[in-house]
Structure 1
Amino acid sequence: MVLDRDPRVAPTGEVHDQIMLDGTYFNGWCVLIAYTGTHVIDWQWCDQEKNASWTALINRIPAPVAAIVDGNGPLTTTIKRLWPTTRIQRCHFHIRQAAHRYLTRRPVLPANKELLGLFKLLSKVTSLDEAARWMAAFTSWEAQWESFLKHRTQVRPGTLRPAHVKPGQHWWYTHIRTRRAHNLLAGLIRDNHLFTWLELAEDGYTIAKTTNPLEGSPNKAIKDFLRAHRGLDIDHARRGVDWLLYLRTEAPKDPWSFVTPRAWTQSRSAPKAVKPETGREETNLLYGTGFSVEDGNGIQKSWGGRSQ
């Protein structure tokens, strides 16, 4: 029996309040997923997250009110191009991860300690008034540490050159990680991607501020499936992920509805079982072909030449 194995998602044309977008990688493949917070809308296979792959997915989906993203550059660019009216909310969980990557969890410099504190305060902001106070605190931090952010290291004999510095470069910013953490927040404030969920709440929309529902449901299910079925070839693994995602759409059909009459046609390419030749006919008639201990055949448990 051969099944039409690829489930198909029928576009509904529904405009959603929010769509979470993210990609999950395995074995050189990536599956891009669009998720409402309760069910999967659509997905797209690719080799990596880039403009072409995100375009293929987003082109099939009507523009939502808001898109929650993790900060992937090609994704943000594609949303602005194909969904120009959609508001973008950057995932606060990924913002916090970036803060730890730039500043570590236990920074030593006072400027870094204060900046990490601002990152941590984001999770406690629950209203536009609190958001305004948070941005005022960030502006105050910028004014206090403006000269610190501009510190430069000049090339001198014996000076260690960081990995990000080009060979012909004669100077670089001393506190590059602090600058990157600062630029992340400054860019989110400039693009208005930090408190979109609060601004839309004023208009009656309930928008998530993280992609955690996507990470904890479809993405986790994919990882659990692949972990429980190690050794699947790539086609079989992709087929399993397709069905896993399809069954998490809003109204999946019975899998048997995908079976066509062709599925009941026996494959002609299946190899026929051939009984192996076991010896001359007269020998088989005299001695048979069964296993016999009397013939000296049995499980040997002696040393057998193995090294001690």
Structure 2
Amino acid sequence: MSNPRNHPTYGVCANKLVKNGKTSSGRTRWRCQPCGASATQARADITRKAVFQAFLNWLLGTARLTEQAQSIATFRRRTQWCWNVTAQVSPTGKIHDQIMLDGTYFNGWCVLIAYTGEYVIDWQWCDREKIASWTALLCRIPASTVAVIDGNGPLIATVQNLWPQSRIQRCYFHVRQAGHKHLTRHPRLPANRDLLNLYKALPRVTSLDEAAAFASWEASWEPFLKHRTYAASAAPRPKYARPGQKWWYTHIRTRRAGRLLAELIQDSHLFTWLELTESGLTVARATSTLEGGPNKAIKDFLRAHRGLSIDHARRGIDWLLYLQTETPNDPWSFVTPEAWEYNRKHTVIVDSGSGRDETNRLYGTGFSIEDGNGIQKGWGGRSR
């Protein structure tokens, strides 16, 4: 019959231990009276949970390894198994009014994030933003009323394919960045200045009547946009002109910047938030909360933990994003006994016949102490 009280037994003589004061760290010291042995007891589950919590505090915080209570080597050894624990998002099937979609890059990897403006819904790892990557993420999420996105072509195509009923709102910040690419920040031509002022006025539009002014720019500058440059032997040919082309538009960058706004208005991707405001639905005009929220947190994490391997950096970002979901579970719930099992590295035996012919002929002919070719000491037969 087991003793219900906290009276452990000694593993060698199986005698009952009695309390014998405390250690310098405050833990209870136990003593075996017959043999005089002393020991301390610890519960493995409580210890592992404390180690895992300390690991997450370090991983998601800004403290350095040198600021831990133990040495760096001890902390790494005790928390090595914590890298095996992964966080998994459970789909809820909830339909959201708006979902912000964007990707952020680091070290050749890209993480695609779906964000409501308040919490993370899900994310997807990939090498770059492409249709297959966005499809893997969006197929796990129910279609929202509005998708707030940047100008990424594969993302637009995926949203239109998987969420055909969802409206698209292009991010004003990315639209203005595209305008700067064509017009620069300080244009000299009057038409370019007028067009850049329209790009800058996008955040200040508050009604559909004000939005109607954006469609009149192209008509007011139509003669200017039709200026042509004809090919001549002495005139330099621009890179966008095809070989053998006899003429091209002179103000091609102005045309591209103006055409961008015209296409956004034509596709109803620029003032979607205004149209939905009249129906009582509030929609963001930019992905600023995503950029300043999860994306910034990822950059800060990578900056605070410079030197992490790719696998460890990805695992840390997984925990960072999971804890920003709507109702994250206790991280300890993802810990299983398989996580702290230690897998010893097996010694790799190299087959002597697996290399090239010239390498196989030299196999086993290297320096060996058994051949008597060790370091020679003494005078080596020389006379004084």
TM-score by length of 1: 0.83
Q: Return the offset for 1:162.
A: 2.1
Provide the residue aligned with 1:27 in structure 2: 107
Matches of 2:182 and 2:243 in 1, distance apart? Answer: 23
Paired residue secondary structure (2:154): helix
Looking at structure 2, the residues matched to 230 and 167 of structure 1 have their Cα atoms a distance apart, in angstroms, of 49
User: What root-mean-square deviation, in Å, do the aligned CA atoms of Structure 1 and Structure 2 show?
Assistant: 1.6
| Partner residue of 1:130 out of 196, 207, 210 | 210
1:169 partner SS: coil
Match of 2:321 in 1: 245
Q: Report the counterpart of residue 54 of structure 2 in structure 1.
A: none
- Alignment pair present for 1:155 and 2:235: no
- Corresponding position of 2:95: 15
Comparing 35-44 with 138-147, greater Cα deviation is found at 138-147
1:186 aligned to which of 262, 274, 278: 262
| Aligned residue in 2 for 1:215 | 291
Q: 1:31 to 1:249 in 2, by over 3 A?
A: same
Partner AA of 1:2 in structure 2: W
1:2–1:262: 8 Å Cα contact kept in structure 2? no
Contact 1:51–1:77 under 8 Å retained in 2: yes
Secondary structure, in 3 states, of the residue corresponding to 2:81?
A: coil
Question: Are residue 80 (structure 1) and residue 160 (structure 2) matched?
Answer: yes
Shift of 1:155: 1.5
Q: Deviations over 1:58-112 (max 9, x none)?
A: 0000000000001111111111110011010001111111111111111100111
Matched residue type, 1:187: E
Determine the structure 1 residue equivalent to 2:174.
Answer: 94
Conserved in 2, the CA contact under 8 Å of 1:23 and 1:30? yes
For 2:81, give the aligned amino acid.
Answer: V
Q: Gaps (5+ residues) in structure 2?
A: 1-79, 348-384
Q: Which amino acid in 1 is paired with 2:318?
A: D
Q: In structure 1, what is the Cα distance between the partners aligned to 2:102 and 2:232?
A: 45
Name the amino acid aligned to 2:299: K
Match of 1:262 in 2: 338
Larger displacement relative to structure 2 (139-148 or 94-103) = 139-148
Provide the residue aligned with 1:204 in structure 2.
280
Distance in 1 (CA, whole Å) between partners of 2:209 and 2:164 is 27
Q: Distance in 2 between matches of 1:31 and 1:164?
A: 33
Q: 5 Å matches for 1:38-77?
A: 38-77=118-157
Report deviation, 1:127.
Answer: 2.1
> Residue 36 of structure 2 aligns with which residue?
none
Letter in 2 for 1:126: T
Instruction: Return the alpha-carbon distance in structure 1 between the equivalents of residues 123 and 248 of structure 2.
Output: 42
Contact 2:215–2:262 at 8 Å: present in 1 too? no
User: For the residues of structure 2 that align with 1:170 and 1:5, how far apart are their CA atoms?
Assistant: 64
Secondary structure in 2 aligned to 1:214? helix
How far apart, CA to CA, are the structure 2 residues paired with 1:223 and 1:164?
A: 37
Q: Name which structure has the greater RCO, CA cutoff 8 Å, separation 6+.
A: 1
Could you tell me how far apart the structure 1 residues matched to 2:241 and 2:85 are? 51
The question of whether the paired residues in 1 share the 8 Å contact of 2:121 and 2:326 is answered with yes
| Aligned-residue offset at 1:139 | 3.4
The answer to whether the aligner puts 1:232 opposite 2:312 as a matched pair is: no
- Is 1:103–1:116's contact at 8 Å kept on the other side of the alignment? yes
User: Helix, strand or coil for the counterpart of 1:163?
Assistant: coil
Deviation at 1:254, TM superposition (A): 1.5
Per the TM alignment, residue 270 of structure 1 is displaced from its structure 2 partner at its CA by 9.0
* Separation (CA, whole Å) in 2 of partners of 1:172 and 1:5: 60
Counterpart of 2:115, as a letter, is Y
Shift of 1:161: 2.2
What secondary structure sits across from 1:2 in the alignment? helix
What CA distance in whole angstroms lies between the structure 2 residues aligned with 1:6 and 1:168? 59
Cα pair 1:25 1:31 within 8 Å, conserved: yes
Question: Is the CA contact 2:81–2:339 (under 8 Å) kept in the aligned structure 1?
Answer: yes
Greater C-alpha radius of gyration: 2
Question: Helix, strand or coil for the counterpart of 2:133?
Answer: helix
Would the alpha carbon gap of residues 204 and 157 (structure 1) be closer, same or farther in structure 2, given more than 3 Å must change? same
Give the Å deviation of 1:173.
Answer: 1.6
Task: Answer yes or no: is the 8 Å Cα contact 2:86–2:315 preserved in 1.
Answer: yes
The Cα shift of 1:213 comes to: 0.3
By how many angstroms is 1:121 displaced? Answer: 1.6
Asked if the contact 2:85/2:339 (under 8 Å) is kept, the reply is no
Q: TM-score, normalised by structure 2?
A: 0.67
Take 2:115 and 2:191, find their aligned partners in 1: how far apart are those partners? 38
Q: State whether residues 2 and 267 of structure 1, in contact with CA within 8 Å, keep that contact through their aligned partners in structure 2.
A: no
Structure 1 gap ranges (5+): 272-308
Kindly state the Cα deviation for residue 260 of structure 1 after the two structures are TM-superposed.
Answer: 0.3
